[in-house]
Amino acid sequence: MSRDENTLTESVSAKDHAEGPAKAPVTLVEYGDYECPACGMAYPALKQVQEEMGEKLRFVFRNFPLKEMHPHAFAAAEAAEAAAAQGKFWEMHDMLYEHQDDLEPEALVGYAEALELDINRFVKDVNEGIFKVKIKHDFQTGVMSGVNGTPSLFINGERYDGSYDAETLLEVLQTVAIENGATRTKAIRR
């Protein structure tokens, strides 16, 4: 059986970082890199789409740090995972994208302080590299799903290669929601 490189190879599970109801008619998975300029440009559109879709959308983020092109991406992913260990993944996720131009180690610690994380635990967790396995796992599932750049989006398990602007993406997601989860992303690329 051949694998379709346009479908998500690993289903969304409790191990993923997700916002929105598990039973939402639409699940949008992003493979992202915190230092990627295109991800930074897509970030506000994705936030807008989440707000407008409300309970009809479950948004999932998976790490896909492109270390060769973005030298701070892996450390930023580790910072997000360290924040997740303290219940503040999404706050750190947003902080990293909103301060994408400064992902130096000192800045990451500063973001953790701003989020009122236990700094000693945060630094210890990052220094011990305890999140490397999860980040590498996210990356591998992306590669197996055909991800070769960021951001890469999947709508209800099917790769979406259309525009990342909020208006277009919202139209596609609303169509899928109306169809109660059917995946029409292949036919709706723009």
In a domain, residue 35? The reply is yes
In a domain, residue 184? The reply is no
In a domain, residue 3? The reply is no
Q: Enter the DSSP assignment of 7.
A: B
In a domain, residue 155? The reply is yes
Number of domains the chain is built from: 1
Q: What's residue 190's pLDDT?
A: 37
Average model confidence (pLDDT) for the chain?
Answer: 92
Q: What whole-number distance in Å separates Cα of residue 15 and Cα of residue 80? A: 14
- Flag whether pLDDT at 73 surpasses 90: yes
Q: What share of the chain is helix, strand, coil (3-state, %, to 5)?
A: 45, 15, 40
In a domain, residue 2? The reply is no
Q: What is the CATH number of the domain that holds 151?
A: 3.40.30.10
In a domain, residue 156? The reply is yes
Nearest to 131 by CA among 173, 163, 98, 89: 89
Residue 183 confidence class, pLDDT cut points 50, 70, 90: very low
In a domain, residue 1? The reply is no
Q: What's residue 5's pLDDT?
A: 67
Q: What's residue 45's pLDDT?
A: 97
Please write the tens of the pLDDT for every residue from 138-168.
999 999 999 999 999 999 999 999 999 999 9
What is the domain extent for residue 101? 17-178
- Flag whether pLDDT at 32 surpasses 90: yes
Tell me how far CA of residue 1 lies from CA of 4, 146, in angstroms.
Answer: 9, 16
Q: What's residue 179's pLDDT?
A: 85
Neighbouring residues of 152: CB distance < 8 A, sequence distance ≥ 6? 30, 31, 64, 142, 145, 159
Q: What's residue 6's pLDDT?
A: 84
Residue 189 confidence class, pLDDT cut points 50, 70, 90: very low
In a domain, residue 4? The reply is no
Please write the tens of the pLDDT for every residue from 100-150.
999 999 999 999 999 999 999 999 999 999 999 999 999 999 999 999 999
Q: What's residue 1's pLDDT?
A: 31
Residue 44: is the preceding peptide bond cis (ω within 30°)?
Answer: no
